[in-house]
Amino acid sequence: MLPPKSSGLFDRLAEYFADHPRILLTLQLAPAIVFVAGVVFVPLASVFAWSFWTMEGRRLVPSFSTDAYARFLGSTGDTFRLEVFATSLRIAVTQTAVSLVLGFAIAYFVGIRMRGSKYVLPLLLLFAVPFLTSYLMRTLSWHAVLQRFGLINTLLLGLGVIREPMTWLLFSEFAVHVGLLSTYLPFMIFPVWLAMSRIDSTVLLASADLGGRPKDTLFRIVIPLTLPGILIGCIFVFVGVLGDSVVPALLGGPGGSSTLLANLMDRAVGGDDLPLAGAMASITLLMAIGLILAWEFFFGLKKIGEI
């Protein structure tokens, strides 16, 4: 049975494309690829170039100056930026570690223990809520929990656990960690859960049948097969924290937790010190690219499509 002949515009175009599949393929892929390359990759690549340029007034002028990098490293005797960088790295690594442990456990519960349950999707959806609601206001809401007479202090005072409200809860590195974790934990849970959900149930059953305790199944089967998801989650959290300027600005306090790397970059852009912003961005990008290349090396990027 032949489909009825039609002379609609789409059909006539389609007849043409049926004979020229390569042209169709190009037309389908090119717009997205050209767009992403133009607005994401070209600007990011240019960062590496103009981080070596100099400013003349408010304009970037081509040259080869390592001045921005030197200032970042503290050439003027001011190691402020380097200290911020160290603090940012420490916070990013801590966040990655904490969210890995917690996120893995949660993903394990949802992906292995709750396997096949009708509650899996709703549960995951609950963890996706922060991702899809206003990031600024969500962060500001932590004030109500952590402040002097906020939720935690009121609760603990009421229970008689403490006598004086704790003042270090808000505007501190603690608050920054609390805020960051509530934002980035879902970024760990999802890729790890996705990788776990790909593990065939029969493999888990086989392990149990052969006498493997849950611990053995976890370490010998679940973790090795989940590694791609784990690394993706780690990249998300680590790079995300390094690029976060909102949480430190709203929740951070004395001791350096209110200014992290992203805040420094933001200030440099605002102050028209573009090479300095570029130098810091280049260093951050290099770390991100290093992690992505590691993923590519171990697992192959094509796998992302399968996830």
Partner 1 sequence: MSAAETARTVHRHPLEVFFEKHGMKVWKGFVGFFILYVLLPPLLLVAISFEPSGVVRMPTGFSLKWYDVMINDQALQGALLKSIILAFLTTFVATFLALQAAIGFRKTKHKTLVIAVMILPIFLPGIIQGFSLSIVLNQFLGVERNFWTELAGHVMWALPFAFLVVLTSMSSVHREWVLAALDLGANPWRAFKDIEYPIIKPGITSAAIFSFVLSFNEFNRTFYLYGLGETLPIYVWNRIFVATSPQTFAISALTVILSLTLIGLATWYLTRVGRVAKETLQEGLAEQQDVPGAERTREPAVADG
Interface with partner 1 in residues 250-279 (CB under 8 A): 250, 262, 265-266, 269, 274, 277
Q: Please give the structure tokens belonging to residue 204.
A: 């888990």
Write phi, then psi, for 198 (nearest 5 degrees).
-80, -10
> Which residue number, 77 or 209, has a Cβ lying nearer to partner 1?
209
The residue count for binding partner 1 (CB under 8 A) is: 96
**Residue-by-residue DSSP string for 280-299:** HHHHHHHHHHHHHHHHHHHH
**Amino acid found at 63:** S
162 belongs to the binding site for partner 1 (CB under 8 A):
no
Q: Which 167-206 positions form the footprint of partner 1 (CB under 8 A)?
A: 181-182, 185-186
CA distance readout (Å), 249 to 145, 173, 179, 266, 279: 17, 11, 11, 11, 22
Give the one residue of 86, 97, 101, 126 binding partner 1; rule: CB under 8 A.
Answer: 126
Which region among 68-76, 81-89, 142-150, 159-167 touches partner 1 (by CB under 8 A)? 142-150
Q: Which of 70, 82, 109, 271 binds partner 1 (CB under 8 A)?
A: 109
CB of 128 to partner 1, least distance (A): 7
Q: Is 305 in the site for partner 1 (CB under 8 A)?
A: yes
Give 232: exposed, middle or buried? Use CB within 10 Å, 0-12, 13-18, 19+: buried
Given the rule CB under 8 A, which of 34-42, 70-78, 197-205, 221-229 is the region that contacts partner 1? 34-42
Question: In this chain, which stretch among 68-76, 90-98, 204-212, 281-289 interacts with partner 1, using CB under 8 A?
Answer: 281-289
196 touches 107 (CB < 8 A): yes
- Decide: 51 and 278 in contact? Cβ < 8 Å: yes
Interacting residues of 161 by C-beta distance below 8 A, sequence separation 6+: none
- Does the protein bind partner 1 through residue 138 (CB under 8 A)? yes
Rg (CA), the chain: 25
Residue 159 interacts with partner 1 (CB under 8 A): yes or no: no
The reply to whether 129 sits near partner 1 by the rule CB under 8 A is yes
In whole angstroms, the minimum distance from the beta carbon of 80 to partner 1 comes to: 20
Q: How far is the CB of 290 from partner 1 (least distance, A)?
A: 11
Interaction of residue 146 with partner 1, rule CB under 8 A: no
x/- track of binding to partner 1 for residues 37-56 (CB under 8 A): x-xxxxxx-xx--x------
Who contacts 194 (Cβ-Cβ below 8 Å, separation ≥6)? 229, 307
Place of tokens 């200030």: 267
What residues contact 256, with CB distance under 8 A and at least 6 apart? 83, 84, 87, 173
284 contacts partner 1 (rule: CB under 8 A): yes
Site for partner 1 in 215-244 (CB under 8 A): 235-236, 239-240, 242-243
Residue 68 in contact with partner 1, rule: CB under 8 A: no
Q: Which listed residue (70, 86, 97, 136) binds partner 1 by CB under 8 A? A: 136
Instruction: List, in order, residues 6 or more apart from 39 with CB less than 8 Å away.
Output: none
172 is written with which tokens?
């501190």
